[in-house]
Structure formats: structure tokens, C-alpha cells
């Protein structure tokens, strides 16, 4: 029989063992950050895919000449400083003593190589570097970038051009991004050699990506040693894994769960307005409506109709009921933080059903008309619900809208084929400059520019202004022109802005990770509370 | 489920076995093999037992199988057209119309579906399944990496449903009035009515979030044998597979329980069972040797085919539990319109059903001596 002493002894040992075990797990937790999001990076090739989750993962491993801090201000990255030499050339002074993860040194050669790689036919970042004429190597740590024409936004675009090692790329035959036509996977899809705060330790696409701290990182040392990303497409499962402490951070918690998550002691939720605006597009350029063959003209071409539709939208209801407060009503398609944004522009026409009815009557549609609204159902936060609300709001002024909500791959095909009269779209401003909105949404469409201008809006003055904005190096003058474009298109009611999306991150309350409006976590800034 | 219906028609009409035997010489060879004691080879035993019409039957089935797969691939190709535009998913928003057109031309997406299909089949015949539009990795490699997860999940789930389903069915048939039977039957109704994603989430909420016993998602505790990673050899591995396998087995479990019960009840009513009882055979022998064995014939068919459906349609379960199997891969491919992966997956599922049907037919003949024609 066991006596009391031995029981006490045993339980003491047990407790010590338990404590040791607990300590062990805590130590492990302090050095590891396990996180999840719905989708994985699509490739580790830093020039192959211009898409946020992919850029996001690459940004932990690769650096750019100029980078953005957590407040999206530009700061020196691999370039210590940069200055315009003339209207069409920029000098970049590179950081010395920087090494890639494989130990080789970073130099001017790599800058030239990387920019040219980003210009390759198979690169998805061509649009960001297409004004670059040549990259001149002055010495090992100095390059001059010559542009075909003055390009005031070049520094902004360069925050997306990741620097690769020329020798590594040549060795592994990845001197250009993957070609879809080839039947073989290139080395750079699953391997990476950057200069970033983390190196790629393990990569199983769609399953798991492990990043390991880079001890030779040039910047302030990161605190967390290992970052493990597991994509989990089912949102409830992602949240369950966070609640059961299998994850430390979830990038995209569904907004209906935020309240419940915040109520948990062990979890905190942070939110910030994202640089993305949700809006409705109205095809004013088409001769007739595709979705209503009974009409022999296009009511959307009449500004009064567009204004009526604008004024019929009760944006407060959408913000409160559908977005649960996590949206900022918008007056222009650009969010705070973007160059060219100002509060005075970001104001809405009042919600006024009576006046909307009157406007419709004046335009010759007292009985309203029928139209189809095309809407994605898996692209933006609560996209389909927003569209449903818009349908019922417009029905109050007798515009009979049929909703066509579809998965994004079909929806974007409809938009791409110019098959929509009326659609919901979101636009983020990658360069944080209004020009990025103008270039894609407002310029008259051609196969080079105005790609997303499915409002088929065309205004010669706006086109001229955009062309000037793209080349004006005097920033005061440039900002005046930007404001002018905003005013013209706001006056024209080219689009019906709805709201700026607000993003939320959910994480363990022990974790400190600054939320970034670009929705790209900077893990080098993450720490655990002691 | 097209395959299932087609199969049942075939297997319930054993006319295919009545094909005249032409391969007489091989029959002689076979008999000699058996006679000389080489008959221990299981497959040969089956073939030998069933008769030599089997050769022709097998061959016919294989040809049919290839046809089925070609048709599956073609139908798939025709459907892909309606899934949307892969190009838009492949290039970023900054791409111009000219860039998009270039990718479209590169991939041959501008060509008629028939031409695309023929090229696809041609490439497959050369062993080239292409690279995924989405992950840019080799399709065949991607599928091989995910195959073990799906196969193991299906097998464990199938094992659970047989382990619990057959005894429950027998009990329900033998003790039709017991309260437990009533509970089983009501429970099975509930089980068949709750959608998989809901039962999965309920399990996660109970065992992971509330109790903290089991991991909520993923696959772990892996041991590798070459390219095959198994999670069945470690306790940790089982902690990951338990919940998804249970979720996936609920439907099959109820199906098997109800089938065994119905078949047993029918067999018990037949004359030969009454006669067996009259002969004074023990309850055990009557129930298990005569009744059970005879009720299992259709059950075997269903179990076999259900294993196919489990593999093919574990999509929801794999998504809910983030189980890294083929189903999860397929659903991600659909969202992206990843044509190479979707085609390869559908061809795989087609092949799987064909092989499974074949095996079921063989076992069927083995269980039911009446079918051993020739």
C-alpha cells in the first residue's frame, strides 16, 4: 500500500513535471507565431502574381528598395536614399553589407536584374515598371533608374518590386517568372532567397508555410523566431482554431464573429479602415441596356438617373445593418491615406427618396425601369448582402432591379466581357496615389489603360489630366490636377461610391502586431508580451 | 450519381457473366495452376472460382472504363466553360487587356473546347498533366501529395461505418421492439438529416473549443513511407483523423444500419430460415450463418460503392476540417477555375469508380455462389 508520504512525493514530482511541460510549451509559444487566412500565397516567385496574399507572404522574405512602415509611410528599404537627378532619372543609394539568405551579397547588379525580371513578359508587375527605360549601374551600391517619361509615382511602384539574387536566379534557371505554357514548375515557385527578416524554411502550397528568422537581417531584429502559416478556407474552422489556441493570429475573421471574439479574454480584435472602396458601376456609355431590351435608350446615360439612384441609397442602413459598423460611408473611390484624398471630397449626396423620385420623373422615368445588378458573392466583405440591400432600396423609387450574384470567377468574366449595365466592385489603391484609381477606372478604355472602366465613361478633359498627372513632377501642380479629376467625376456621378471597407484582425491577447491598412501583416514587428 | 445507377443495373443483371468462354486455353492453364497447388494466389482463386468468362468481362470493363473516363473528361471540359474565366484569376488587377489576351493565347483558351480537349488528352497520353493555374505546381505531384490524406480518411470512415453499422443493423433486425432499436433508428434519421458541415462544426465546437481534447483542423502526427505520409501510426495522427472520419461516416453508417436491418428482416421471413429453425438449428447458426450471410450480398455492393462516394465526395468534410485531401484541392480549383487540376481530379474519380465497380463485381460473385457461372 502506498503511504501518504509517497503519494505526496509522487504528486510533487507530477507537479514539477507538469510545470516543466507547461514551461516548455510556453517557451515554444513565445518563439512561434501560428497564423491563418482563407487563402495561401499562390507562388513564392516574387514577380509572378500581383495579389495581396501572395505579395504578403513574399514581403516577409523579400525586400524592396523602398518599403512602407505600419502606417504606410515610405521608408528606406534596400535603398538608403533616393533622389531625382532629372525629370526622367532617379538615383538610388543602396544599403551596403546586406546579404541574401544564402549568404551572397546584395549589390547593384541584383537591382538591375530584379527590375528587368519584373518587366518580363511573364511578370505580373509589368504595369508597375513599364515606365522604366533602363537601370544603370554606377557602382556596387549606386544605381540610376531612367524612365521613358517623367514618372512621379515611381517610388510608390518600387515598394512592390522585390529584389532577387541574380546568381541564385541564374543558377536555378528562374531568370524570368513561370510561363504557364511550360509543363514544369520552376524552382522559384517553392523556394526563395531574399534579404528579408524571415527566410523560407518550408513550403507546401495550400498546406503549410514555415518562415524562420533571418539572423543577418539588415534592419531591427525581428522578435519571433518562427512563423507558421496554415491556410484554412472555412471561416468557422479558422475561428475555432483560434479559440482553441491552435492559432495565434487570424488575418480575416468574419465580421459576424468579431463581437464574440472580442468578448473572449484570450483574444483581441483590432480594426482599421482599409485602402479599398466599394462602389456601384453604371454603364453610361452603352447605347441601350443589355438587361432590359424593352428600352430603346440607356437611362444610365442621363446624369439625373444616376443621381436618383445615388440618393435612393440609405448608406447608414448598409453601414449599420450589413457591415455592423465596420465600414466608412464614402463619397469618392479612394480612402484616407491615399494621395489626393481629402475630407471635403469624401462627402455623399444626402439620402433623399423624394428628390430621387423627382429626378427620375424629370429624366422621363416616372415609373422607373428594369435593370440587372451583377454582383460577386465571394470577393468583398458581405458583397451579396450589400447588393440585396441596394435592390430593395432602389425598388422604393420604382427601379426594379434583378440581382445576379455570382462567384468571383464568373462575375469578373461578366465584367471583363463588358456584359454588365450595373455592377458592384471594390477598388484598392496599391500605390496610395489617386492616379491608380484614374488609370484603371476613369481613363477612356483601350487595351492598355482604363482596364476596369466598365462605366464606359469617357471625358477628354479627364483623359488629358490623367496623362499630365502621370508625368507631372511638380507635386503641388499634380495634386491640383488630381483634385480636378475628382471634382469632375464626382460632379458627373460616374460611379456610386458606397463605403471604405474596414478590416479587422483577431489575435491572441498576448501577441502585439500592428494592424496595417494594406492588410499585410509585418511579422518583423510582432512581439509577445512577457 | 450517374455511376452508381449505371453500375447497379449491371451488377444486378448477371448476364455479363454468361459470355461464351473463348479463352479455353487459358482456362486449362489456370486449372493446371490450381491443381499444382499454385491456387493460393488470391486473385487467381477468384478468377478460377468465377470462371473464365471473367477475362473477357474484365477486358470489357477496362475498355468501358477508359470510355467512361474520356466522357467524364469531355463533359468536364464542356462544363468548365461555365465556371468563369481562369485568366482573370491568373493575372492581377493591374494587368491590361493586352496582358490578359496574351495569357489566354498562351494557354490555348481561345481555341474551341473540342480542340482544347483533344490537346489535353494528347498531353495526358504523354504523361503530362500540366501545371496548376493556381499554385503553378505540377498537377500530378499535387494530387499525389494529397491522395494519402483522402484515402486514409475514407478508409477510416468506411471502417467506422462497417464496425458500427453492421452490428447495429443486426441488432435492429433481431430485436425489432427493443428501445435501443428505436433509438438507433431515430438516431440514424437524425444523422442522415444533419448536413455534414453542421455536424462537423458541432464536433469541432464540442471537442476542440469547449473541451480542448482534439485539434480542430489539419492533419498531423505523420510518418512517411516514401511518398505516402500516413497519420494512422501515431496517437497524434489519430487525434486529427478522428473527428473528420466520424463526420464523414455518419451518412454511410445510417445507410449500412438500415440496409442490414432491412435485408435481415427480409431473409428471416423466408422459408429456408423457417425450415432451418424447424430442423432445430441453434439460433446462432440460423441468424449468423444463414440469415446474415445471405443478407450481406447487397450490403457489400453498397459498401463498396459508398467507399467510392466517400472518396469522391469528401469535399465538405475536408473543407470543414481543413483536411489536406483531394476534395479540398478540388473545391479550391473550382473557385479559381483551375482547369488542369479539375480535369485531372475528375479523371481520377472516374478511374476510381471504374476500378471500384470492378472489385465490387468480383467480390459479389465471390459472396454469391449463384453468380459463379461457367
Task: Dump pLDDT digits (tens) for A369-396.
Answer: 999 999 999 889 999 999 999 999 999 9
What does the alpha-carbon distance between residue A289 and residue A296 come to, in Å, rounded to a whole number? 8
User: Residue B250 — very low, low, confident or very high, per pLDDT cuts 50/70/90?
Assistant: confident
Q: Indicate whether A22 pLDDT > 50.
A: no
Q: Indicate whether A1 pLDDT > 80.
A: no
Residues of chain A neighbouring B98 (CB-CB closer than 8 A):
447-448
Task: For A53-101, list the strands marked E by DSSP.
Answer: 66-68, 74-76, 79-86, 89-94
Residues of chain A neighbouring B320 (CB-CB closer than 8 A):
234, 236-237
- Cα-based distances in Å from B63 to B26, B59, B260, B355, B368: 20, 6, 34, 12, 26
Look up the CATH architecture of domain B139-337: Orthogonal Bundle (1.10)
Q: Are A374 and A423 contacting, i.e. CB atoms less than 8 angstroms apart? A: yes
Partner-chain contact A184 B218, CB within 8 Å: no
Q: Is B333 on the interface with A (CB under 8 A)?
A: no
Q: Indicate whether A14 pLDDT > 60.
A: no
Q: What's the residue count for chain A?
A: 530
Q: Determine which of A29-33, A35-39, A98-102 has the lowest per-residue pLDDT on average.
A: A29-33
Q: Indicate whether A507 pLDDT > 60.
A: yes
The pLDDT of A150-177, averaged and rounded, is 94
For residue A170 the three cell numbers come to 541564374
Q: Indicate whether B370 pLDDT > 70.
A: no
Q: Indicate whether A180 pLDDT > 80.
A: no
Q: What pLDDT score does B367 carry?
A: 66
User: Residue A120 — very low, low, confident or very high, per pLDDT cuts 50/70/90?
Assistant: very high
What does the alpha-carbon distance between residue B230 and residue A363 come to, in Å, rounded to a whole number? 69
Each domain of chain B, given as residue ranges in start order, spans 139-337
Q: What pLDDT score does A111 carry?
A: 97
Residue of B320, B239, B208 lying closest to A237 (CA atoms): B320
Percent of all residues in chain B with a pLDDT value above 90, rounded to a whole number: 12
Q: How do residues A278-317 score in pLDDT, each as one tens digit?
A: 999 999 999 999 999 989 999 999 999 999 999 999 999 9
For residue A517 the three cell numbers come to 491598412
Q: What pLDDT score does A261 carry?
A: 92
Partner-chain contact A234 B320, CB within 8 Å: yes
CB interface of A with B, residues 403-442, below 8 Å: 407-413, 416, 430, 440
Q: How do residues A198-238 score in pLDDT, each as one tens digit?
A: 999 999 888 899 999 999 999 999 999 999 999 998 999 99
Q: Is A179 on the interface with B (CB under 8 A)?
A: yes
Q: Which residue has the higher pLDDT, A415 or B364?
A: A415
Residues of chain A neighbouring B204 (CB-CB closer than 8 A):
236-237, 240
B146-149 long-range contacts, CB within 8 A, separation 24+ = B146/B324, B146/B325, B146/B326, B146/B328, B146/B329, B147/B325, B147/B326, B148/B228, B148/B229, B148/B230, B149/B219, B149/B229, B149/B231, B149/B318, B149/B323, B149/B324, B149/B325, B149/B326
A-B Cβ pairs (cutoff 8 Å, strict) = 163
Q: What pLDDT score does A395 carry?
A: 96
Q: Which residue has the higher pLDDT, B14 or A175?
A: A175
Q: Indicate whether B11 pLDDT > 70.
A: no
Q: What pLDDT score does A256 carry?
A: 87
Q: How do residues B118-172 score in pLDDT, each as one tens digit?
A: 888 888 888 888 888 888 888 888 899 899 999 999 989 989 988 998 899 888 8
Q: Is A345 on the interface with B (CB under 8 A)?
A: no
Q: Which residue has the higher pLDDT, A485 or B189?
A: A485
The residue of chain A with its CA nearest to that of B101 is: A447
The pLDDT of B269-279, averaged and rounded, is 83
Partner-chain contact A413 B88, CB within 8 Å: yes
Partner-chain contact B329 A42, CB within 8 Å: no
Q: How far is B282 from chain A (nearest CA, A)?
A: 50
Q: Is B6 on the interface with A (CB under 8 A)?
A: no
Q: Which residue has the higher pLDDT, A355 or B298?
A: A355
Q: How do residues A340-362 score in pLDDT, each as one tens digit?
A: 999 999 999 999 999 999 999 99
The pLDDT of A161-184, averaged and rounded, is 88
Q: What pLDDT score does B33 carry?
A: 37
Q: How do residues B60-87 score in pLDDT, each as one tens digit?
A: 878 888 888 888 888 888 888 778 788 8
Residues of chain A neighbouring B131 (CB-CB closer than 8 A):
178, 180, 182-185
User: Residue B48 — very low, low, confident or very high, per pLDDT cuts 50/70/90?
Assistant: low
Q: How do residues A438-495 score in pLDDT, each as one tens digit?
A: 999 999 998 888 989 999 999 999 999 999 999 998 999 999 999 999 999 999 999 9
3-state secondary structure labels for all residues of B311-341: HHCCHHHHHHCCCCCHHHHHHHHHHHCCHHH
Q: What pLDDT score does B16 carry?
A: 33
Q: How far is A399 from chain B (nearest CA, A)?
A: 29
User: Residue B332 — very low, low, confident or very high, per pLDDT cuts 50/70/90?
Assistant: confident
Q: Is A121 on the interface with B (CB under 8 A)?
A: yes
Q: What pLDDT score does B369 carry?
A: 63
Q: Indicate whether A249 pLDDT > 50.
A: yes
Q: Determine which of A110-114, A236-240, A463-467, B299-303 has the lowest per-residue pLDDT on average.
A: B299-303
CB interface of B with A, residues 144-183, below 8 Å: 145
Q: Indicate whether B1 pLDDT > 50.
A: no
The residue of chain B with its CA nearest to that of A378 is: B335
Q: What pLDDT score does A227 carry?
A: 96
Partner-chain contact A378 B204, CB within 8 Å: no
User: Over chain A, what is the mean pLDDT?
Assistant: 90
What does the alpha-carbon distance between residue B136 and residue B152 come to, in Å, rounded to a whole number? 26
The residue of chain A with its CA nearest to that of B83 is: A410
Most confident residue range from A247-256, B5-14, B273-282: A247-256
Q: Indicate whether B269 pLDDT > 70.
A: yes
Q: Is B224 on the interface with A (CB under 8 A)?
A: no
Q: How do residues B190-223 score in pLDDT, each as one tens digit?
A: 888 888 888 899 999 999 998 989 999 999 888 8
Q: How far is B144 from chain A (nearest CA, A)?
A: 13
Q: What pLDDT score does A103 carry?
A: 94
Q: Are B84 and A409 contacting, i.e. CB atoms less than 8 angstroms apart? A: yes
Q: How do residues A58-95 score in pLDDT, each as one tens digit?
A: 999 999 999 999 999 999 999 999 999 999 999 999 99
Q: What pLDDT score does A162 carry?
A: 97
Amino acid at each position: 500500500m502506498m503511504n501518504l508520504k509517497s503519494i505526496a512525493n509522487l504528486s510533487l514530482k507530477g507537479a514539477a513535471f507538469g510545470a516543466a511541460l507547461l514551461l516548455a510549451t510556453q517557451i515554444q509559444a513565445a518563439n512561434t507565431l501560428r497564423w491563418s487566412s482563407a487563402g495561401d500565397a499562390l507562388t513564392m516567385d516574387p514577380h509572378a502574381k500581383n495579389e495581396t496574399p501572395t505579395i504578403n507572404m513574399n514581403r516577409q522574405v523579400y525586400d524592396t528598395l523602398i518599403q512602407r512602415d505600419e502606417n504606410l509611410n515610405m521608408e528606406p528599404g534596400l535603398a538608403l536614399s533616393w533622389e531625382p537627378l532629372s525629370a526622367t532619372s532617379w538615383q538610388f543609394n543602396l544599403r551596403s553589407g546586406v546579404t541574401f539568405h544564402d549568404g551572397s551579397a546584395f549589390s547593384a547588379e541584383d537591382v538591375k536584374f530584379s527590375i528587368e525580371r519584373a518587366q518580363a513578359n511573364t511578370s505580373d508587375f509589368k504595369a508597375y515598371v513599364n515606365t522604366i527605360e533602363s537601370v544603370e549601374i554606377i557602382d556596387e551600391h549606386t544605381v540610376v533608374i531612367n524612365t521613358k517619361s517623367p514618372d512621379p509615382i515611381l517610388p510608390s511602384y518600387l515598394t512592390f518590386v522585390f529584389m532577387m539574387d541574380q546568381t541564385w536566379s541564374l543558377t536555378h534557371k528562374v531568370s524570368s517568372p513561370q510561363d504557364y505554357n511550360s509543363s514544369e514548375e520552376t524552382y522559384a515557385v517553392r523556394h526563395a532567397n531574399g534579404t528579408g527578416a524571415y527566410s523560407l524554411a518550408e513550403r507546401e502550397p495550400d498546406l503549410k508555410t514555415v518562415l524562420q528568422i533571418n539572423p543577418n537581417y539588415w534592419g531591427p531584429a525581428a522578435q519571433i523566431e518562427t512563423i507558421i502559416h496554415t491556410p484554412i478556407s472555412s471561416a468557422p474552422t479558422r475561428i475555432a482554431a483560434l479559440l482553441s489556441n491552435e492559432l495565434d493570429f487570424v488575418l480575416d475573421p468574419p465580421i459576424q464573429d468579431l463581437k464574440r471574439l472580442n468578448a473572449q479574454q484570450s483574444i483581441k480584435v483590432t480594426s482599421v479602415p482599409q485602402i479599398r472602396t466599394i462602389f456601384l458601376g453604371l454603364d453610361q456609355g452603352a447605347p441601350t441596356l443589355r438587361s432590359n431590351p424593352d428600352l430603346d435608350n440607356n437611362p444610365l446615360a442621363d446624369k439625373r438617373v444616376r443621381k436618383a439612384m445615388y440618393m435612393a441609397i440609405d448608406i447608414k442602413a448598409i453601414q449599420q445593418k450589413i457591415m455592423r459598423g465596420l465600414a466608412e460611408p464614402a463619397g469618392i473611390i479612394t480612402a484616407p491615406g491615399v494621395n489626393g484624398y481629402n475630407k471635403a471630397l469624401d462627402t455623399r449626396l444626402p439620402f433623399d427618396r423624394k428628390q430621387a423620385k423627382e429626378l427620375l420623373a424629370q429624366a422621363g422615368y416616372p415609373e422607373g425601369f428594369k435593370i440587372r445588378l451583377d454582383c460577386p458573392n465571394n470577393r468583398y466583405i458581405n458583397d451579396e448582402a450589400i447588393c440585396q440591400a441596394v435592390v430593395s432600396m432602389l425598388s422604393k423609387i420604382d427601379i426594379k432591379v434583378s440581382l445576379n450574384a455570382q462567384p468571383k470567377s464568373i462575375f469578373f468574366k461578366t465584367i471583363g466581357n463588358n456584359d454588365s449595365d450595373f455592377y458592384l466592385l471594390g477598388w484598392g489603391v496599391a500605390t496610395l496615389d489617386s492616379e491608380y484609381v484614374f488609370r484603371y477606372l476613369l481613363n477612356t478604355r483601350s487595351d492598355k489603360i482604363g482596364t476596369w472602366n466598365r462605366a464606359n465613361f469617357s471625358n477628354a478633359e479627364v483623359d488629358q489630366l490623367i496623362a499630365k498627372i502621370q508625368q507631372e513632377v511638380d507635386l503641388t501642380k499634380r495634386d491640383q490636377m488630381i483634385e480636378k479629376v475628382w471634382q469632375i467625376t464626382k460632379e458627373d456621378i460616374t460611379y456610386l461610391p458606397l463605403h471604405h471597407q474596414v478590416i479587422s484582425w483577431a489575435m491572441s491577447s498576448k501577441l502585439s502586431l500592428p494592424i496595417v491598412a494594406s492588410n499585410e501583416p509585418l511579422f518583423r514587428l510582432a512581439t509577445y508580451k512577457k | 450519381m450517374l455511376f452508381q445507377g449505371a453500375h447497379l443495373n449491371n451488377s444486378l443483371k448477371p448476364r455479363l457473366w454468361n459470355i461464351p468462354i473463348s479463352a479455353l486455353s487459358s482456362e486449362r492453364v489456370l486449372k493446371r495452376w490450381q491443381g499444382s497447388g499454385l491456387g493460393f494466389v488470391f486473385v487467381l482463386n477468384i478468377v478460377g472460382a468465377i470462371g473464365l468468362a471473367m477475362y473477357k468481362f474484365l477486358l470489357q470493363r477496362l475498355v468501358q472504363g477508359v470510355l467512361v473516363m474520356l466522357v467524364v473528361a469531355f463533359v468536364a471540359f464542356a462544363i468548365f466553360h461555365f465556371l468563369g474565366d481562369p485568366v482573370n484569376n491568373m493575372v492581377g488587377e493591374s494587368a491590361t487587356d493586352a496582358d490578359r489576351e496574351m495569357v489566354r493565347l498562351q494557354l490555348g483558351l481561345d481555341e474551341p473546347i473540342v480542340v482544347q480537349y483533344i490537346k489535353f488528352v494528347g498531353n495526358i497520353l504523354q504523361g503530362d498533366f500540366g501545371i496548376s493555374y493556381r499554385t503553378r505546381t505540377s498537377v500530378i505531384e499535387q494530387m499525389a501529395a494529397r491522395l494519402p490524406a483522402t484515402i486514409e480518411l475514407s478508409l477510416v470512415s468506411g471502417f467506422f461505418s462497417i464496425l458500427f453499422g453492421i452490428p447495429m443493423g443486426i441488432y435492429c433486425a433481431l430485436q425489432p421492439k427493443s428501445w435501443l432499436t428505436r433509438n438507433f433508428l431515430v438516431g440514424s434519421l437524425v444523422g442522415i438529416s444533419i448536413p455534414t458541415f453542421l455536424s462537423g462544426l458541432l464536433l469541432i465546437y464540442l471537442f476542440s473549443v469547449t473541451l480542448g481534447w482534439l485539434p480542430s483542423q489539419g492533419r498531423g502526427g505523420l510518418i512517411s513511407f516514401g511518398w505516402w505520409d500516413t497519420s494512422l501510426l501515431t496517437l497524434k495522427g489519430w487525434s486529427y483523423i478522428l473527428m473528420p472520419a466520424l463526420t464523414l461516416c455518419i451518412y454511410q453508417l445510417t445507410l449500412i444500419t438500415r440496409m442490414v436491418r432491412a435485408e435481415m428482416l427480409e431473409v428471416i421471413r423466408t422459408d429456408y430460415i423457417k425450415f432451418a429453425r424447424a430442423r432445430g438449428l441453434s439460433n446462432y447458426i440460423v441468424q449468423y450463418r444463414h440469415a446474415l450471410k445471405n443478407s450481406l450480398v447487397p450490403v457489400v455492393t453498397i459498401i463498396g460503392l459508398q467507399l467510392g462516394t466517400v472518396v469522391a465526395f469528401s469535399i465538405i468534410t475536408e473543407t470543414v476540417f481543413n483536411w489536406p485531401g483531394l476534395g479540398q484541392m478540388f473545391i479550391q480549383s473550382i473557385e479559381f477555375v483551375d482547369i488542369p487540376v479539375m480535369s485531372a481530379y475528375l479523371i481520377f474519380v472516374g478511374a476510381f469508380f471504374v476500378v471500384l465497380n470492378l472489385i465490387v463485381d468480383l467480390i459479389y460473385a465471390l459472396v454469391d455462389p449463384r453468380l459463379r457461372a461457367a
